Amino acid sequence: MKLLVIGGGGREHALAWKLAQSARVKAVFVAPGNGGTARDKRYRNVAFESNEALADLAQNEGIAFTVVGPEVPLASGVVDVFRARGLRIFGPTQNAAQLESSKDFAKAFMTRHGIPTARHQTFTDPLAARAYVQQRGAPIVIKADGLAAGKGVVVAMTVEEAMAGLDSMQIGNSASDGATKLVIEDFLDGEEASFIVMCDGANVLTLATSQDHKRLLDADRGPNTGGMGAYSPAPVVTPTMHARVLREIIMPTIVGMAADGIPYSGFLYAGLMIDGEGGINALEFNCRMGDPETQPIMLRLKTDLVTLIDAAIDGRLDQVEAKWDRRAALGVVIAAYGYPSHPRTGDAITRLPDDDDDCIAFHAGTAASNNRLVTSGGRVLCVTALGETVRAAQKRAYRAVDEVAFDGLQFRRDIGHRALKIKR
C-alpha cells in the first residue's frame, strides 16, 4: 500500500520512518517532507498548495490512508476535505481540532466537563483584561486564543510583566494581527509532562510516556522553543499517575467531545502540570503528536504503526495493542544559528552520523539543494537513540550529535536531566 504523511518536520520524518517499516507499505509520500525524506528511497516528497490538492494526490495515487502531523492543516479542515471525498485519514476534524486551535474553546470545554485545569477567564476587551490582572495579581498566565506556534503564551511572574504581555498581544486589534480573544489563567507550579494517546472517537490507545525540554539552554534557561529534546518513558508519570491521567483527563475529554457532538479522532496530546502534592491539571491540548516527543516514542514502538492507525480510522482501537521496547529513547534537537527568534537558513550540513538500529538522525529543517544538504528551518535535526537506561540512551545520542557539523549549530547538553534526577 501507499501512505501519505502531511508535514515536513522531525515528527513527520519519524512517523514516515515507522510507517515505512511495515511489510505492507510500498511507499510513503511526505507532503512536503524535508531533506532527510528527500534522499531516502522509502519516501517520496510532494509539494502541495491546498487541502484540496492533498486530497487530489491521495485520490490519484490510491493512498490507503493519510496521517496528519502538524496542527495547521488540521485547524484548516484537511480531515473534513478528505472525509467528504471518502478518503481515509487519521486526525481530528476542524471542529474537534479547536481543542488546540482555540484556547477559549479548550478552557470552556474543560470547565464544562469537570476536567482539572487552571481557573481562567476569557477577554475581548483590553481594559477588562487589565483590570482582571490587577485583581488576581501575579504570577499569572496570558494566552492568545488562536494557534500561535508556541508564541502565544506569556507566563508573567509580576503584574508589570503581565501588563507588558497584554500590550504585546494587542487584544482586539485584529487589523495588526493581534489576538481577538485572550485567556487569562492562574499560574500552576510543578513539573510538566506530555501524555499522548490515539483516539478513534470513542476508544483510546495510550502511547508511551514522554517529556520534552522547552527552553533553549541547559538547566531550563533561555527562551521557550518548540522543544529542544525529549525522552521516553517519563518517570514523572508513575503507573498510578498514568491511571489517574486517563481517568481524570483523557477519558472525560473523549466522552465529553462525543457528548458535545464533535467526536475526537486522531492523536491527542495533553500537556500536564503535576504539582508537589500529586495534583494533576491539564495545561493545554494539542490535536497532534508532539515534536520532538514523537521521535523517541516512534523509536520505542514495536507494533506496526499501520495496524494501529488502520484500527483507529475504523473505530477499532479497543481491539489493538501497542508493544514498546523496554529500553529508553532520547532525542536531542540540533537547532540553527539564531533559533528560536531569527533562525538562519542555508548553512551547509557537512557531516551527519550514520543511522543504525539504535540511533537515527531524524531531519526537520533540512533541504536538499544542488546535491548538498542545507539548513532550512529553526530545528534542523533530532538525533534519537535507544539505550538500556535513559543515561545510556543519552550517551549514545550525544555521541552521534558530536558527529553533526554545520555552522552555528546549537543544542542542549542536558536532555534527560529530569529523568536522571528521579531515583526509581
Residue 286: name its binding partner from ligand GLY, ligand AMP, none (Cβ under 5 to 8 Å by kind).
ligand GLY
Q: Is residue 155 involved in binding ligand AMP (CB under 6 A)?
A: yes
Partner from ligand GLY, ligand AMP, none binding residue 185, C-beta < 5-8 Å depending on class: ligand AMP
To the nearest 10 degrees (0 to 180), the angle between helices 126-136 and 159-169 is: 160
Residue 284 binds which entry of ligand AMP, ligand GLY, none, CB below 5-8 Å type-dependent: ligand AMP
Distance CA 309, CA 268 (A): 13
Binder among 153, 166, 270, 280 for ligand AMP (CB under 6 A): 153
C-beta of residue 231 within 8 angstroms of C-beta of residue 210: yes
293 binds, among ligand GLY, ligand AMP, none (CB under 5 to 8 A by kind): ligand GLY
Does 293 help bind ligand AMP (rule: CB under 6 A)? no
Of the candidate spans 63-71, 186-194, 305-313, 412-420, the one that interacts with ligand AMP by CB under 6 A turns out to be 186-194
What is the spatial distance between Cα 390 and Cα 107, in angstroms, rounded to a whole number? 35
Q: Does 110 bind ligand AMP (CB under 6 A)?
A: no
| 236-275 binders of ligand AMP (CB under 6 A) | 271
384 is an interface residue for ligand GLY by CB under 6 A: no
Binds 88: which of ligand GLY, ligand AMP, none (CB < 5-8 Å by kind)? none
Stretch that binds ligand GLY, among 121-129, 288-296, 330-338, 407-415 (CB under 6 A): 288-296
What separation in angstroms does the CA of 99 have from each of 230, 285, 361?
23, 6, 31
Nearer to ligand AMP, 80 or 284 (CB): 284
Cβ of residue 214: shortest distance to ligand GLY, in angstroms? 7
Considering only residues 342 through 381, tell me which ones interact with ligand AMP, judged by CB under 6 A. Answer: none
d(CA 163, CA 179): 15
Identify which of residues 149 and 243 has a Cβ nearer to ligand GLY in the complex. Answer: 149
29: left (phi over 0), alpha (psi -120 to 50) or beta: beta
227 lies in the binding site for ligand GLY (CB under 6 A): yes
Q: How many residues touch ligand AMP (CB under 6 A)?
A: 13
Out of 12, 145, 212, 304, which residue is the one contacting ligand GLY (CB under 6 A)?
212
| Interaction partner, residue 153 (ligand AMP, ligand GLY, none; CB < 5-8 Å by kind) | ligand AMP
C-alpha closest to that of 9 among 383, 382, 398, 403: 382
The reply on whether position 192 binds ligand AMP by CB under 6 A is yes
Residues 225 and 110: their CA atoms lie apart, in Å, by 26
> Which member of 80, 145, 185, 291 binds ligand AMP (CB under 6 A)?
185
- Under the criterion CB under 6 A, does residue 128 sit at the interface with ligand AMP? no
Buried b (16+ CB within 10 A) or exposed e, 57-81: bbeeeebbbbbbbbbbbbbbbbbbb
Q: Which is nearer to ligand GLY, 81 or 228 (CB)?
A: 228
Instruction: Give the Cα separation of 211 and 295 in Å (integer).
Output: 12
How many angstroms from the chain centroid is the CA of residue 324? 20
- One of 98, 281, 286, 366 touching ligand GLY (CB under 6 A): 286
Exposed/middle/buried for residue 143 (C-beta within 10 Å: 0-12, 13-18, 19+): buried
Beta carbon nearer to ligand GLY, 294 or 376: 294
The strand pair at 328-335 and 280-286 is best described as unpaired
CB of 253 to ligand GLY, least distance (A): 17
Q: Which does residue 212 touch among ligand GLY, ligand AMP, none (CB within 5 to 8 A, set by kind)?
A: ligand GLY
Residue 290 binds ligand GLY (CB under 6 A): yes
Contacts with ligand AMP by CB under 6 A lie at 118, 141, 143, 153, 155, 185, 187-188, 192, 214, 271, 283-284
Contacts with ligand GLY by CB under 6 A lie at 212, 226-227, 286, 290-291, 293
